Amino acid sequence: SDLAVLNFTYKTSSPDLKSGYRKMQDNMNVIEEFLISNGVDKNDIAFGLISNYEVYKRIGNYTTNDIDFYRFNAEVKVTSKNVQLITELSKKMSGLVEKNIDIAYSNVQYYVSNIDDIKIKMVGEATKNAKQRAESMVQSTNDKIGSLNSARMGVFQIVPVNSTEVSDYGINDITSIEKKVVAVVNATFTVK
């Protein structure tokens, strides 16, 4: 993988909208400072819009029409070509909790940015491999493989290195840094 993405949400609650938005803005500044101090380029940080909703007072099992407080949340997306930096950063996210910021985050997602180029190369190699397999199959009959009649691209399996997982629809693993790419080509040849 040559691209890593870390998504997380920060949230707070407040008795009124004004102080809630101010607290979220303050938290955003602390988060940005934390990320930059851990080596993230400012251009690799994207803050989402702040959203809020009312939480109503309850009396026993009943909810009233009176607002008790507001909850606020916003998403942050950190995207970088420095895969190791983002991996290490994900282990340090508790540093934001120590700064009294309520966060929830998921695992780092790992991508291969040039996967289309890799797929083109893999299809060519898979077609060559299909011919070699066909030649091996007819070798014992003293026949020879002739021209390629048709070729159809099958699914791609992008899986962790030691994975044996396969799917009829293909797999695109985003959980591991090191990946194995398997291309399937269905080819028919003339037998001479």
Tell me the per-residue pLDDT of 121-173, one tens digit each, with 9 for 90 and over: 888 888 888 888 888 888 888 888 888 888 888 888 888 988 888 888 888 99
Do β-strands 171-172 and 145-160 pair in parallel, antiparallel, or remain unpaired? parallel
- Is the predicted pLDDT of residue 182 greater than 90, yes or no? no
Give me 72's structure tokens: 């606020």
- Residues 6+ positions from 113 with CB-CB distance below 8 Å: 2, 3, 81
Mean pLDDT, range 41-69, rounded to an integer = 95
pLDDT band at 57 (very low <50, low <70, confident <90, very high): very high
Phi/psi for 174 (5° steps) reads -120, 10
- Is the predicted pLDDT of residue 5 greater than 90, yes or no? yes
How high does pLDDT run on average in the chain? 91
Percent of the chain topping pLDDT 90: 59
DSSP structural state of residue 48: -
The partner residues of 45 in beta bridges, in order of sequence, read 78
pLDDT at 115: 84
- Is the predicted pLDDT of residue 189 greater than 90, yes or no? no
Distance CA 20, CA 11 (A): 10
pTM above 0.85, yes or no: no
pLDDT at 166: 84
Distance CA 73, CA 75 (A): 7
142 neighbors 133 (Cβ within 8 angstroms): no
Residue 89: is it exposed, middle or buried by C-beta count within 10 angstroms (0-12/13-18/19+)? buried
pLDDT band at 103 (very low <50, low <70, confident <90, very high): very high
Mean pLDDT, range 26-55, rounded to an integer = 97
pLDDT band at 86 (very low <50, low <70, confident <90, very high): very high
